[in-house]
Structure formats: structure tokens, C-alpha cells
Amino acid sequence: MTPGVHEDCGIRPDRGAACPAELTPALYREMRRIAARHLSSERPNHTLQATALAHEAYLKLAGFRQAYADNVHFLAVASRAMRQVLVDYARARTAHKRLGDANRQPLWPAAIEMKVEGGAELADLIALDGALASLAAENGVLARLVEMRYFGGMTAEESADALGLSVHVVRHDLRFAQAWLRRKLLS
């Protein structure tokens, strides 16, 4: 079990820390919705592919046999799972295709030059994950906010609900967290 996800059981102190029940079909549908949000925030759409992503994340979640107090709580946990799925994937992909240095040889025959689609973004994602871990070490709530927003596609209202904060505070904290991460990643 990943410690990070386990901690999520206590995400809302007012609802208790116990996590006994299982993921319901309704929440599974919610998972698909998140996956779709990822693919295009402006164009939410249920697709075959979004289902595949949701399914993977669902399997990770189901392994924990936790209960989710409500949809918002579920979303919060799901954003962590989503982060894991995508970062694991990006790591595996970039491990295969670590050609940055190799590609610096401009004399290589065209036939064996390889283009890695989204290669830069996969690397960016791993870097973001690392920066998020640093942020979490300083302030867990800030890191969770970023995770919820970008990996879970949660709105400020949903994050506020999940963490028991005001929407105003969430907006401010998210802005600060982003500046913090940008500084971390750019310096």
C-alpha cells in the first residue's frame, strides 16, 4: 500500500478516518469523468480511452478497499491515483526512450531517428511529480491542492469541500503553490 493514498482516508477529519467499504459503480462512473476531463478540459466526453484510464486507476483504488464518504472525497483520492498511474507510465516510457543524448548526434541516418511524441511532456510530468513531492514535504495541503486541480480535474469548490477550506483560501493557496512549483522547476 502506498502511504500517500492511505493518508487520504483521513482527509476529512470531521467524517472520521475509517475506510471500510468498497468503490461503487457510481464512483466508477465518476472516475471516467475525471479521465475525460484530463483529455480535454473544454470538451468533456466519455470515450473508450478515458474508460481505459479510469479502469487502471480504479484497479489501484479498489486494492485499498476504502470507503469514500462522498463523491468529493472520492475525487480527492482518485486524483492521487491518477497521478500515480500517469507518473508510473511516464517513467516507464521515458526509460525506454531516453534518447536525449543519442539524438544529439545529427549525423545519424534519418531512418533511425526516432520521434517521441509527447516526449517533452512526459519528462515534464516526471519533473512536476518530483517538485510536488518537495512541496508536500514543506506543506502537504498545498501539494494536495495542485494534485486535485491538475490530476483530478477538481474545481476550487470541490477542493475546498474535500479539505474543509474556504474557496477563497483554496484559490490563493493554489496560486501560491503554482508559483512555488514554477520556481522549483525553473531554477
Partner 1 sequence: MNARLAEMFHRLADLPPDARARYFVEHEVDPDTRREVEELLAHDSSDAGWFSQPVGISARAYLDDHVRGTLCGPFRLLHVIGRGGMGVVYLAERADGEVGQRAAVKLLQPGWTEIQRERFLQERDILAALAHPNIARVLDAGHLADGQPYLAMEYVDGQRIEDYCHGLDVRQTVELFLHVCEAVAYLHANSVLHRDLKPGNVLVSASGEVKLLDFGNARMLELGGDPTVTRLRILTPEYASPEQLSGGAVGTRSDVYSLGAVLHHLLSGGSPGEKQPSHSPRELSGDLEIVMQTATRREPEDRYASIEEFSADLRAWLESRPIQARRGDRIYRARKLIQRHGLATGLLAAVVAALLGAGALAWYSSPHDSRVHGLTAKRVTANTPELPIQMAAISRDGAYVAYSDPLGIHLYDTAAGVTRLLEGTAGHVLQRWMPDGSALQTQTLDDSGVAATMIVPAAGGRPELASDGSGFRYSPDRRHRALASADGKQLVVEDADGSRSRELWRSANSVVSGYEWSPDGKALAVVADYGRTSSLEIIDVAGRRKSVLIPASSDRYITSIVWHTTNRIVAAIWERGSGINSEGADNLWQVLLNSRARNGPAELRKLTAWTDSRIRRGSLTTDGRRLALVRTLRQRDVYIAEIGTGGHHAVVPRRLTPDLGDDYPTAWTRDSKAVILTSDRNGSSNVFAQEIDKLSAKQLVHGPGRQILPRVAPDGDDILFYGREARKRGLMRVPVSGGTAELLFETSNVADFRCSPAGPCIIAEFQRDRRIVVSALDLRKGKGREIYREASGRIVTPDISPDGRFLATPSSTKIVVRSFATGSVVREIDVRHGTAPTRLTSLDYSPDGRGFYAGDITPSEARLLYIDLTGEASVVYRQAGSLPQIWGIPSHDGKHVAIMMHTDDSNVYLLDAF
3 counts as binding partner 1 under rule CB under 8 A = no
Residue 2 CB, nearest distance to partner 1 (Å)?
Answer: 19
With CB under 8 A as the contact rule, the residue among 21, 52, 59, 62 that binds partner 1 is 52
Burial of 166 (0-12, 13-18, 19+ CB in 10 A): exposed
- The answer to the question of residue 31 lying near partner 1 (CB under 8 A) is no
Contact 88, 12 (CB under 8 A): no
Q: Which is nearer to partner 1, 26 or 110 (CB)?
A: 110
Q: How far is the CB of 20 from partner 1 (least distance, A)?
A: 31
Least separation in angstroms between CB 21 and partner 1: 28
C-alpha cell at 71: 463523491
In this structure, the number of other CB atoms found within 10 A of the CB of residue 167 comes to: 14
Instruction: With contacts defined by CB under 8 A, name the span among 8-16, 61-69, 154-162, 177-185 that binds partner 1.
Output: 177-185
Residues 82, 34: contact at Cβ < 8 Å?
yes
